[in-house]
Amino acid sequence: MDDTAIFICASTAVEEGGKGLRFPLTAGGEDATGFVVRYDKTVYAYLNRCAHVPIELDWNEGDFFETSGLYIMCSTHGALYTPENGRCAGGPCRGGRLRPITVFERDGKIFWHPDDYIKPARA
């Protein structure tokens, strides 16, 4: 396994169209959270920050999808994002997109990879 991969959770913890799971990280040197959701049988992860105004997206912890389960929605502004690429699909985010986090599944577990901006949470 890649040494930079960081465990998030068991694959069974993130159900299709269900609640997402938040995880701690550092974004640009600041404490933040990321989140992982499952959509169309694939896991996707993003920085938990709206492209419109940099606030967390979830309504309640882990509630990222709007009622149809087709879009990730900002609980404050109603900005809609497509789960498969994080692009704005409607609302005040106009052309923005969520900051993706590289994520993958292996052996029944979900992992993420840090990059130049998104790093492991500070201890």
Task: Encode pLDDT of 8-24 as tens digits.
Answer: 999 999 988 889 999 99
- Report the predicted TM-score, pTM, of the whole model to 2 decimal places: 0.94
Q: Give the CA count within 13 Å in the CB-facing half-sphere of 70.
A: 4
Calpha distance 22→8 (Å, rounded):
9
**Across 65-82, average pLDDT:** 92
Q: Are 54 and 15 in contact (CB under 8 A)?
A: no
Q: Are 39 and 16 in contact (CB under 8 A)?
A: yes
Please report the pLDDT score of residue 100 as a whole number: 98
Please report the pLDDT score of residue 52 as a whole number: 85
Q: Identify the DSSP state of 84.
A: T
Reduced to 3 states, what is the DSSP secondary structure of residue 66? coil
